Structure 1
């Protein structure tokens, strides 16, 4: 399991930006039996964990008392660079299971899509419950079974790791293939009555001008 060494943090507010220049990122650890504790962690190490595991990952946090397992609850990012700037960690009670939204990784190639159909990804993550040690970083969904228009993959079609309980309905659609929507060009028919009235009006005006 990934480990992050945390240090207690007293700096708050705008001053925390200076920590990032020292490869330290502000964070907070909290839980049912853990009072919210401001800390700093290694920015480089945190980015490595995200890169290799995604955000749905449990880490061991050390340095603030007894070592504890915590789930990455939320990551705040810079709106321009998308670099992580702050993280919330949810401390997990020993022996407790966790619920988390695990991202879907779509793999394989659909024959229907190769032939011009449109692939519609209905959901992009799946809510699951599991022991922290059995929590998957992602759930693979193979779309190679989508061979013809109308084919679908539902939750019940996916094989989940042992010990992982899915919190969605079994018949919920995950992905499907359908015809590519075509925009129909519509040409509005001209209003002949309006044209006739307009032309008549011009004729009347011409006759009046000639009479003058």
Structure 2
């Protein structure tokens, strides 16, 4: 069991605690009144790394010692350091319900030999136990995942003595999925016959326009022929008079 030195505090300025490298905290329980305390930042980080939320922590200070669990931690989104911590003081001889992290161990044959992808469906397990029997994590073997139909279920897990699983027995903990290549459909080839028809249509239009233009151009020529007739008549009359 890890030990954390605590100090009872009154309502203090949080900036003052920060300068002293202390974080505000509180402990409480069913038969324990809420009490404000402060803990050293570095000491808390060591305890958090070792105990997490599922191991018993001995809170020691001011001539008292209480066994508790880290119930909740508020983290600073900018610095990533804890801003506040809650400790739950439990009753001795009574079981508690907690979530314990899962640690996956081993290599799945379906990943190594078949090229699949490991899917971790659950990352925590709900369990019940007396505080002193609570494990820091639950180890889950993934070597039984030999193919894409294999599953690791909650009922398959080996739990430490004194620990009761609260998950549904058939809850899937892990599996391996087959990597499927995405088939890209090729675009159909263009309809060349349709393109030819469109091209021919475009050639016909200028030809028709050109015919109309030629027809309009012939009109002055015909008018010119009509005007040449009187000239020839005058010349013939001139011959007669001579």
Q: TM-score, normalised by structure 2?
A: 0.75
Q: What is the CA–CA distance in structure 2 between the aligned matches of 1:3 and 1:126, rounded to whole Å?
A: 25
- Alignment correspondent of 1:143: 142
1:67 aligns with 2:84: no
1:167 aligns with 2:166: yes
- Alignment correspondent of 1:90: 88
What is the alpha-carbon root mean square deviation over aligned residues? 2.7
Matches within 5 A, 1:26-37: 26-37=24-35
Matches within 5 A, 1:13-92: 15-63=13-61, 66-92=64-90
Counterpart secondary structure, 1:67 = strand
**Residues 203 and 81 (structure 1), Cα distance of their counterparts in 2 relative to 1, 3 Å cut:** farther
- Alignment correspondent of 1:106: 104
Range 100-109 or range 76-85, more displaced: 76-85
Counterpart secondary structure, 2:80 = coil
Q: Give CA deviations for 1:61-91 in whole Å, capped at 9, x if unaligned.
A: 1236742221111111121332222111111
Counterpart secondary structure, 1:4 = strand
Counterpart secondary structure, 2:14 = helix
Higher helix proportion, which one?
2
Q: What is the CA–CA distance in structure 2 between the aligned matches of 1:207 and 1:16, rounded to whole Å?
A: 88
Paired residues, what number?
208
Q: Give CA deviations for 1:128-179 in whole Å, capped at 9, x if unaligned.
A: 0100100000000111222222211111111101110110111111011121
Larger radius of gyration: 2
- Alignment correspondent of 1:10: 10
Q: Give CA deviations for 1:4-34 in whole Å, capped at 9, x if unaligned.
A: 222122235xx31432332311111122222
**Residues 188 and 89 (structure 1), Cα distance of their counterparts in 2 relative to 1, 3 Å cut:** farther
Q: What is the CA–CA distance in structure 1 between the aligned matches of 2:15 and 2:202, rounded to whole Å?
A: 77
- Alignment correspondent of 2:118: 119
Q: What is the CA–CA distance in structure 2 between the aligned matches of 1:177 and 1:114, rounded to whole Å?
A: 11
Q: Give the number of the structure with larger relative contact order, counting CA–CA contacts within 8 Å between residues 6 or more apart.
A: 1
